[in-house]
Amino acid sequence: DQQVKQNSPSLSVQEGRISILNCDYTNSMFDYFLWYKKYPAEGPTFLISISSIKDKNEDGRFTVFLNKSAKHLSLHIVPSQPGDSAVYFCAATDSGTYKYIFGTGTRLKVLA
Amino acid sequence: EPEVTQTPSHQVTQMGQEVILRCVPISNHLYFYWYRQILGQKVEFLVSFYNNEISEKSEIFDDQFSVERPDGSNFTLKIRSTKLEDSAMYFCATFDIRGPNTGELFFGEGSRLTVL
């Protein structure tokens, strides 16, 4: 039962260009969405989140967009830098249960 | 910056042995989680723990698994009789339910379990 899906296992982008990572969810009870970045042999680190009452949240080079009707969110990284190369996980939670469900991850490679 | 710490960083065990993975949550956080990631796969929810009891658990979290807070600071995951398929990276995570609502889970560095 994949409630949170990231359909692109990998993405390559040139340095300086925009990286767009996508995530779809099925559970309409989810009301908080997060993006995490993970390097090999490390724990996931929080990047940015968005509440279901918003459709956009921006933090520096990172912007998350939420389309509730399509049950879709995306993470935009502009400009992309080689240090952004990592696996990115989207996660969703229902604040009634505080159970966080993660997607399968997208490996981003930013080419210098 | 406060952090979640996990020990051991890597444990190798024989199939059928018991394993205990330890986590020290961020001190004022009240919600604790265990997740695992089998190599190359997604980060899977195992269990959440709040107010000294299990809040939610996944179908992976069967009778072989248990969690407890033995001394009010550590949060442990015990696997009673390990199987080969338990080999994975196990992450502890904590959440400040009373904090500003960024919804952020704080993760530890993980404990790699290898079952031979």
Q: Compute the half-sphere exposure of residue B12: CA atoms within 13 Å on the CB side of its CA.
A: 1
User: Can you tell me the distance from the alpha carbon of A50 to that of A68, in angstroms, rounded to the nearest whole number?
Assistant: 11
Interface membership of A65 toward B (CB under 8 Å): no
Is the bond preceding residue A79 a cis peptide, omega within 30 degrees? yes
- For residue B98, the 8-state DSSP code is T
Q: Once rounded to an integer, what is the mean pLDDT over residues B50-77?
A: 91
Per-residue model confidence (pLDDT) at position B15: 96
Per-residue model confidence (pLDDT) at position B99: 59
User: Can you tell me the distance from the alpha carbon of B107 to that of B93, in angstroms, rounded to the nearest whole number?
Assistant: 4
Buried b (16+ CB within 10 A) or exposed e, A21-30: bbbbbeeeeb
Token duo for residue B59 = 């179908």
Q: Is the pLDDT of residue B100 over 60?
A: no
Q: Is the pLDDT of residue A1 over 70?
A: no
Q: In this prediction, what percent of chain B has a pLDDT beyond 90?
A: 72
User: Can you tell me the distance from the alpha carbon of B58 to that of A75, in angstroms, rounded to the nearest whole number?
Assistant: 27
Q: A18-27, A47-56, B95-104: lowest mean pLDDT where?
A: B95-104
Q: pLDDT band for B103, please (50, 70, 90 cuts).
A: confident
Which of B79, B68, B87, B63 is CA-nearest to residue B12? Answer: B87
| Antiparallel, parallel or unpaired: β B10-13 and B31-37 | unpaired
Rg of chain B over all Cα atoms, to the nearest angstrom: 14
Rg of chain A over all Cα atoms, to the nearest angstrom: 13
| Antiparallel, parallel or unpaired: β B88-95 and B75-79 | unpaired
Contact B101 A51 (CB under 8 A): yes
Contact A97 B56 (CB under 8 A): yes
Interface membership of A103 toward B (CB under 8 Å): yes
Residues in contact with A62: Cβ distance below 8 Å, sequence separation at least 6, in sequence order: A35, A47, A48, A75, A76, A77
Interface membership of A44 toward B (CB under 8 Å): yes
Burial class of residue A53, CB neighbours in 10 A (0-12, 13-18, 19+): exposed
Q: Once rounded to an integer, what is the mean pLDDT over residues A42-71?
A: 94
Using a CB-CB cut-off of 8 Å, the residues of chain B touching A102 are 35, 42-45
pLDDT digits (tens, 9 = 90+) for B9-43: 999 999 999 999 999 998 888 889 999 999 888 89
